[in-house]
Amino acid sequence: MKTSTLVLAVLSHSLGALLPLAHADALPVRKPGLWEVSIIGAGQSVMRQQKVLQCTTNEVDALTMLAIVPGQEHCHETKVVKEAGQFTVQTVCFVHDNQVKARIRLKGDFQQLYQGDFEVAYSKPVAYSSPGVTQFSGRRLGDCKPGMKPSDMVLPNGVTVNIVDSLKQHEGHEGHRH
């Protein structure tokens, strides 16, 4: 699978209720501004990494930072543990009737740099999913670009998605079962 397809699939399935906000205070908060996040899929080389830009503030960072992790809709269990300078987040979520378990690890100063990895397991097969650990790293570029809103994310193909707006749209479409 092409990495750009992986990133788009990950992002499209990450825009539901990412994490219950009650747990957001346990997550690290990146310094507000523009962050470049590089994502390297399991088994891929650095040459195939994808990059997204994220405009963040303290209020939206918990949603924005984890928007790169797939399947974080309708989370019923979220556990955040900080140990030895590393944050580990474990979630049990549902995308329609497919249970999604994720483990995300984060470390860094969150002022200029951070890095981590995630692994996702589905209860039913998913076409775009590749098993293994996906690595990512983020670096702060400065202030958000003029015209960017908090939680804007620029995808590798240049399309801008606003995580908060997308979340509100998904919440408005609760007519189908999950």
Amino acid identity of 130?
Answer: S
What average pLDDT does this structure show over 92-107? 91
Which pLDDT belongs to residue 25? 43
Which pLDDT belongs to residue 62? 85
Locate the domains of the chain by residue range. 3-171
Share of residues in the chain with pLDDT > 70 (%): 77
The residue with tokens 């098993």 is 131
φ, ψ (nearest 5 deg) of residue 34:
-100, 125
C-alpha 84/C-alpha 162 separation (Å) is 33
C-alpha 162/C-alpha 148 separation (Å) is 9
C-alpha 49/C-alpha 40 separation (Å) is 5
C-alpha 135/C-alpha 70 separation (Å) is 13
Read off the pLDDT band of 4 (50, 70, 90).
Answer: very low
The residue with tokens 């549902």 is 94
3-state SS assignment for residue 149: coil
Helix, strand, coil percentages (3-state) for the chain, rounded to 5, are 20, 40, 40
- pLDDT tens profile 101-158: 999 999 999 999 999 999 999 898 887 766 789 999 999 999 999 999 999 999 999 9
Read off the pLDDT band of 37 (50, 70, 90).
Answer: very high
Six token digits for residue 33: 């501004």
Beta bridge partners of 81: 88
Closest CA to 118 of 166, 69, 155: 69
